[in-house]
């Protein structure tokens, strides 16, 4: 252990990062900026080529920083996993999706672990960062690595440290967000925590086991999932009662204790909040426990795209318009403001349902030039006065700051704002409704 710690502390350790996506690339960049030589691994040749050319494709990475560390030889990427033999520590940052039955798919974690196991050597540190159910590190990763004959905590070190990436956050990023670390043994925790303390500015908080760290991550996102579901249910009820839910929330925010504001919207998106709670509901069945609150929150949030479509139909009906043949303009496809990330975006479900009802769809997103839904390609149309005037209804589904909301307010006939994006517009000429 002392030899591994010495390499970490004097920055002579070579660091590997498996998976160069929204979690892995920012982490690789921070480790390289801290002075380590970093090797990034990915199965997508396009990503590897872009990294090696110093070309950034992740919003939370600064273009100039990536170019500089690549030029300095501090970061290189490869699809060749044999280079894992060169590393002293490696982080696994691969996807952990759900399958068709809402059960965790750990196949990417398992495949990455097997590649590491082929090159596992004494003194090596392995850290799983991919969000998953409590027990994955000990029940899935550890046995694969120990098939080599090496023993965890003695011959090599294994820990879980959950990623805390919030795409588009202008305040907190990989470098300054506190990090939770839980190792299989105290030695594992010590070695993993030492690496993160040499890389990050935020606090490194040590917990007693990987399972605690895994559960902590699930708690973070389940907390948000449930509270967003409450906001969505309040929005549905407020709509029926003729009350502005946004004004209700603003009033509730004035209480200096016991309340935290969450907001309604067209549904949940991103890799974490709509997915992570299902890891826990699946694992809970092993203990014959039914996570009723979590599953109910999921039902409410999953209903929101349908609620948006139903409201759209009712609004059009007031003008004697059927959904079939109506010109519907969708503003925003990304799952949250000012990013190009479409993972699990509720807007995709809204598009599917509008297509099913025969709407003529036009889409604009300043961050996504084109995208596919069920094999059909959609191009982002330029947002002009003419485009707005042509639409029978404009759906604001992502509140990008790049939008000219005064133009939208002036030139649209009817607006259905699912994000309260026009809250600061002084004069709205269109018929205007909020979620």
Question: Do residues 205 and 257 touch, judged by C-beta distance below 8 A?
Answer: no
Question: Do residues 152 and 209 touch, judged by C-beta distance below 8 A?
Answer: no
Coil vs helix vs strand at 39: strand
- Cβ-Cβ contacts under 8 Å for 169 (sequence gap 6 or more): 60
Rounded CA separation 132/95 (Å): 9
Question: Do residues 395 and 311 touch, judged by C-beta distance below 8 A?
Answer: no
**3-state per-residue secondary structure call for 145-194:** HHCCCCCECCCEEEEECCCCCCCCCCCCCCCCCCEEEEECCHHHHHHHHH
Rounded CA separation 102/93 (Å): 21
The phi, psi pair for 239, rounded to 5°, reads -60, -45
Question: Do residues 41 and 79 touch, judged by C-beta distance below 8 A?
Answer: yes
The phi, psi pair for 58, rounded to 5°, reads -120, 130
Question: Do residues 207 and 182 touch, judged by C-beta distance below 8 A?
Answer: yes
Dihedral of alpha carbons 5, 10, 13, 16, sign: positive
Question: Do residues 313 and 268 touch, judged by C-beta distance below 8 A?
Answer: no
Where does residue 405 rank: exposed (0-12), middle (13-18), buried (19+ CB within 10 A)?
buried
Q: What is the CA radius of gyration of the chain?
A: 24
Rounded CA separation 28/47 (Å): 13
Rounded CA separation 347/290 (Å): 30
User: Which of 93, 188, 238, 272 is the catalytic position?
Assistant: 272
The DSSP symbol for 83 reads: G
Active site residue 93: no
Rounded CA separation 241/265 (Å): 18
**E strand or H helix at 282, and its extent?**
helix 276-284
Rounded CA separation 151/185 (Å): 11
Active site residues: 272
């Amino acid at each position: 252990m002392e030899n591994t710690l010495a390499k970490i502390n004097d920055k002579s350790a070579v660091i590997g990062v498996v998976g160069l996506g929204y979690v892995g690339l920012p982490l690789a960049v921070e480790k390289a900026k801290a002075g380590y030589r970093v090797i990034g691994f990915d199965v997508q040749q396009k990503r590897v080529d872009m990294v090696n050319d110093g070309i950034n494709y992740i919003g939370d990475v600064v273009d100039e920083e990536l170019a500089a560390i690549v030029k300095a030889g501090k970061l290189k990427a490869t699809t060749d996993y044999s280079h894992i033999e060169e590393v002293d520590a490696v982080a696994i940052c691969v996807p952990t999706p759900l399958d068709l039955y809402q059960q965790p798919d750990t196949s990417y974690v398992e495949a990455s672990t097997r590649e590491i196991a082929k090159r596992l050597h004494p003194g090596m540190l392995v850290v799983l960062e991919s969000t998953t159910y409590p027990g994955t590190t000990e029940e899935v990763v550890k046995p694969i690595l120990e098939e080599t004959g090496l023993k965890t905590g003695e011959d090599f070190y294994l820990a879980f440290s959950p990623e805390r990436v919030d795409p588009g956050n202008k305040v907190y990023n990989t470098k300054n967000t506190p990090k939770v670390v839980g190792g299989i043994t105290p030695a594992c925790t010590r070695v993993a925590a030492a690496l993160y303390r040499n890389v990050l500015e935020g606090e490194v908080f040590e917990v007693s086991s990987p399972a605690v760290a895994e559960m902590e991550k699930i708690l973070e996102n389940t907390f948000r999932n449930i509270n967003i579901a409450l906001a969505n249910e309040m929005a549905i009820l407020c709509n029926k009662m003729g009350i502005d839910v946004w004004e209700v929330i603003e009033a509730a925010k004035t209480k200096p204790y016991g309340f935290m504001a969450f907001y309604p919207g067209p549904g949940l998106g991103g890799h974490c909040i709509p997915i992570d709670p299902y890891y826990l509901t699946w694992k809970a069945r092993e203990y014959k426990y039914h996570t009723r609150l979590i599953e109910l929150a999921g039902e409410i949030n999953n209903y929101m795209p349908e609620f948006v479509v139903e409201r759209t139909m009712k609004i059009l009906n007031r003008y004697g318009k059927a959904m079939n043949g109506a010109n519907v303009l969708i503003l925003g496809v990304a799952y949250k403001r000012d990013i190009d990330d479409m993972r699990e975006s509720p807007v995709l479900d809204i598009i599917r349902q509008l297509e099913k009802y025969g709407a003529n769809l036009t889409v604009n997103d300043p961050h996504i030039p084109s995208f596919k839904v069920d094999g059909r390609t959609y191009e982002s149309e330029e947002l002009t006065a003419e485009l707005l005037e042509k639409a029978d209804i404009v759906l604001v589904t992502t509140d990008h700051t790049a939008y000219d909301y005064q133009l939208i307010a002036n030139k649209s006939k009817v607006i259905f704002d699912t994000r309260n994006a026009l809250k600061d517009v002084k004069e709205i000429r269109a018929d205007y409704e909020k979620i």
